[in-house]
Structures are given as structure tokens and as C-alpha cells.
Amino acid sequence: MKKTFFTPLLLTLMIAPSLARASFLPPDLIDDFANIISWVVLIVMPVGLIAAFWYVHILPDTIAKRREHPQRDAIHALCILSLFVGGLLWPFAYLWAYTRPTMYKLAYGSDKYEPLKKEHREEAQLQDEVK
């Protein structure tokens, strides 16, 4: 009895495919939406990915500057080098930015960053006096 009830219903649904709709939106609106998505994928996404890649690779340098790492120039060089080799060196720069050299203070008298040029040293001293 149940089988005889569902058979005509299924046959009616199979014969009338025009009643089925793939979307609730009109076709023109679907095309416009697809065009918007394609422009986002082709233009906005690569720009965003490049910006994120760049930000991730300068992050160790900004961390080293904020923490006044004594070897921040070397960390900066490693970050730039990492951009050219596809990010393989970035984890090392990140770890290096968060660590301090163990015997650096004993060898050089300070474990803070000191610029190499005389003008930069004077600027750094003026900034220390302002603080």
C-alpha cells in the first residue's frame, strides 16, 4: 500500500523537472555575483596574500626592535634574506628575535641595541635622555 502511493509521486517528480530550481536567485544576479567573486579571487586575494607574507616576514624585525635586541641588524638581514628564499629562514629569525645572546653582556658590556654609526649613537643617547 505504501509502495503504490509513493510510486506515482516519484514518477510525477521525475517527469516534471521544470519544477526543480537550482537557485532561488535569478540567473542575471547569479552571473553578477560570480563576476564579483572572480574579481576578488583574481585581484584582492593575491594582494592580501602578498601583504600577509610580507608582514609575517618583517615581524621578527619589529619584535627585535621593540625588545632592543643587541643583534637586531642581523635579524633584519635574515628577514630580508628570508623574503628571497621563500620564507625558509623566517622561523629562525622569529626564534632569534625572542632570545638573548647568553654571553653578550659579558663580552660587550650591555645587552641592549647600540647603533654602529656615531650619528645613530647620538640619536640613541638623545632618545634615552628624553625617556
Domain that holds residue 85: 47-121
User: Does 25 map to a domain?
Assistant: no
Give 60-90 as a DSSP string.
Answer: HHHHHHHTT-TTHHHHHHHHHHHHHTTSSSH
Domain tally, the chain:
1
Residue 81 has what pLDDT?
92
User: Does 11 map to a domain?
Assistant: no
| Threshold 0.85, pTM exceeds | no
User: Does 85 map to a domain?
Assistant: yes
Work out the mean pLDDT of the chain and round it to a whole number: 80
Positions in the chain short of pLDDT 50: none
pLDDT tens digits along 45-82:
999 999 999 999 899 999 999 988 888 889 999 999 99
User: Does 98 map to a domain?
Assistant: yes
